[in-house]
């Protein structure tokens, strides 16, 4: 039997590299389960650069080993339990009146509920992925036939100059380019909850009534951070202020990678 792990995965990574541990802490990824879900692409974003290539590889090895170590004990315990308990004891426990008589139906019911939950999650994943595909198609066709009702575009370049250009193009070609009042939401793709967005301004567009920044990541959705809390407050206030029936609002969303 393999020895039980005495250190958490985060502690092992900290012992390997304080820099990597700091990057995980900034992204608020400290739980073993969350760390085990990190992909190579995630590690590349958390620890970018050629200088961290070997470090990312070692962390991937730690994650894979951790997955194996956490998967083994369950099978080992069940096998030992099966060897420890005689067959006749288990059979008697499962008959009506036995101590385990109601246990199997409970497990089967739980299995059905988990299957339904999995179907629910998979359906939502498929739905969100379909929007990503639609956003890419919309971004390709927006230059030829822009529509003020189209509020979402695909992912934009990571460099600041390119992002500024895409922002201006998105404003003039999207919903913000019309005469209707809009709330401009600039979405930044990042792991870093402390990420500070550059000060791009669309204030010279008279119909932009509010401009907010939002931080998100594909694997985590919207990040729980001060920036997003502030964005929610600003959007709420703007909607309250411009809730008159004489106004029609659009939320113009543009995605930016750090």
- Listed by start position, the domains of the chain span 9-84, 101-145, 147-257
* Integer Cα distance of 125 and 237 in angstroms: 31
Q: Indicate whether 231 pLDDT > 70.
A: yes
- Scan for tokens 């030829």, then name that residue: 144
- Which ranges constitute the DSSP H helices of the chain? 9-16, 18-26, 32-36, 40-46, 53-84, 87-94, 103-142, 160-173, 226-241
**pLDDT score, position 146:** 32
pLDDT at 169 over 80: no
Separation between Cα atoms, residue 242 and residue 251, nearest integer Å = 13
Buried (b) or exposed (e) across 147-180, using 16+ Cβ within 10 A? ebebbbbbbbeeeeeebeebbebbbebbbbbbee
Q: Is 196 exposed, middle or buried (0-12, 13-18, 19+ CB in 10 A)?
A: exposed
pLDDT digits (tens, 9 = 90+) for 126-153: 777 777 765 555 555 443 333 333 333 3
Residue 174 has pLDDT above 60, yes or no: no
CA distance 118 to 98: 32
Residues in the chain, how many? 258
Q: Exposed, middle or buried, 97 (CB in 10 Å: 0-12/13-18/19+)?
A: exposed
Cα separation of 144 and 77, whole Å?
A: 63
Q: To 10 degrees, the CA torsion angle through 150, 152, 157, 158? A: 150
Average pLDDT value for the chain: 73
pLDDT of residue 122: 82
What is the distance between the alpha carbons of residues 13 and 18, in angstroms, rounded to a whole number? 8
Asked which of 5-9, 64-68, 113-117, 145-149 is least confident by mean pLDDT, the reply is 145-149
Where does the pLDDT of residue 229 fall: very low under 50, low under 70, confident under 90, or very high at 90 and above?
Answer: confident
Cα three-residue angle 254-136-222, rounded to 5 degrees: 45
Q: What is the mean pLDDT of residues 96-120?
A: 83
Cα atoms in the Cβ-side hemisphere of radius 13 Å centred on 61 = 7
Among 192, 236, 184, which Cα is nearest to 210's? Answer: 184
Six-digit token pair at 33? 């389960």
| φ, ψ dihedrals at 4, nearest 5° | -70, 145
Q: Band of the pLDDT at 59, cuts 50, 70, 90?
A: very high
- Measured CA to CA, the distance from residue 235 to residue 232 in angstroms comes to 5
The whole-number pLDDT of residue 150 equals: 31
- What was the pLDDT predicted at 167? 58
Higher pLDDT, 168 or 87: 87
DSSP state of 4: P
Task: Indicate the SS3 state at residue 217.
Answer: strand
């Amino acid at each position: 039997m393999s020895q039980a792990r005495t250190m958490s995965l985060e502690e092992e990574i900290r012992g390997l590299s304080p820099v990597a541990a700091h990057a995980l802490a900034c992204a608020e990824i400290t739980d073993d389960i969350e760390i085990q879900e990190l992909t190579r692409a995630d590690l590349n974003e958390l620890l970018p650069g050629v200088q961290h290539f070997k470090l990312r590889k070692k962390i991937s090895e730690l994650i894979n080993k951790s997955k194996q170590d956490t998967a083994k004990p369950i099978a080992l315990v069940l096998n030992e339990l099966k060897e420890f308990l005689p067959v006749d004891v288990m059979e008697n426990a499962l008959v009506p009146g036995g101590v385990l008589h109601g246990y199997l139906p409970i497990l089967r019911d739980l299995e059905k509920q988990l299957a339904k939950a999995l179907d629910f999650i998979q359906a939502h994943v498929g739905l969100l992925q379909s929007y990503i595909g639609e956003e890419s198609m919309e971004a390709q066709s927006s230059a030829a036939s822009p529509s003020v009702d189209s509020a979402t575009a695909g992912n934009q370049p990571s460099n600041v100059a390119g992002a500024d250009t895409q922002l201006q193009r998105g404003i003039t070609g999207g919903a913000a380019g019309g005469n209707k009042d809009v709330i401009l939401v600039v979405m930044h793709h990042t792991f870093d909850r402390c990420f500070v967005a550059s000060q791009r301004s669309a204030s010279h567009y008279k119909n932009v009534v509010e401009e907010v920044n939002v931080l998100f990541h594909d694997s985590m959705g919207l990040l729980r951070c001060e920036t997003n809390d502030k964005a929610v407050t600003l959007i709420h206030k703007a909607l309250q202020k411009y809730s008159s029936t004489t106004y029609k609002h659009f939320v113009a969303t543009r995605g930016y990678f750090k």
